Amino acid sequence: MKTDRILVFTNANLKTREEVYQFVVKQEFPSDIENAKKLSRELVDRETQGNIQIAESIVLPHAECNYIQRSKLLLIKTQRSIDTWSSDIHDIKVVIVMLLKSDESRKVKMQFVDIMRQLGKDELIEQLLSEDNPELLLKLLS
């Protein structure tokens, strides 16, 4: 399920952070191995700059790069919890990946900021964790 800038994947059979990042880079760069590797490194490197866990069982990895074709959010719900995301992050059920073009328009950046603000609300967090319908998940972030 997707909109112009939000893609939703439910029941994803991903068991580790590495598998999640491989999935993400394949969505963005299905046949561009060089940029896929750069994006994967960028996502991992960003984690060293600060905690990406925004709520219990939810992480928000993100990258801002000039080689991303189109800014987007990928909402990924896994089949089972990812027991160990990193040494500090455990039991992850929802991954929201933000990919932002370095030269993105102010309008799009503000749309993403609005979504990030919404993610600060407990009600939305609870809905993201409990809902499995792709259309409803898409509406939650739209």
Report pLDDT digits (tens) over 29-80: 999 999 999 999 999 999 988 899 999 999 999 999 999 989 999 999 999 9
Q: What single DSSP character describes residue 63? A: E
The CA distance from 45 to 15, in Å, is 20
Instruction: Provide the residue ranges of all domains of the chain, joining segments of one domain with +.
Output: 6-141
What kind of architecture, by CATH, is found in domain 6-141? 3-Layer(aba) Sandwich (3.40)
User: Are residues 38 and 106 in contact, defined by beta-carbon separation less than 8 angstroms?
Assistant: no
Residue (of 19, 128, 112, 116) closest to 70 by Cα position: 112
pLDDT in tens, 74-102: 999 999 999 999 989 999 999 999 999 99
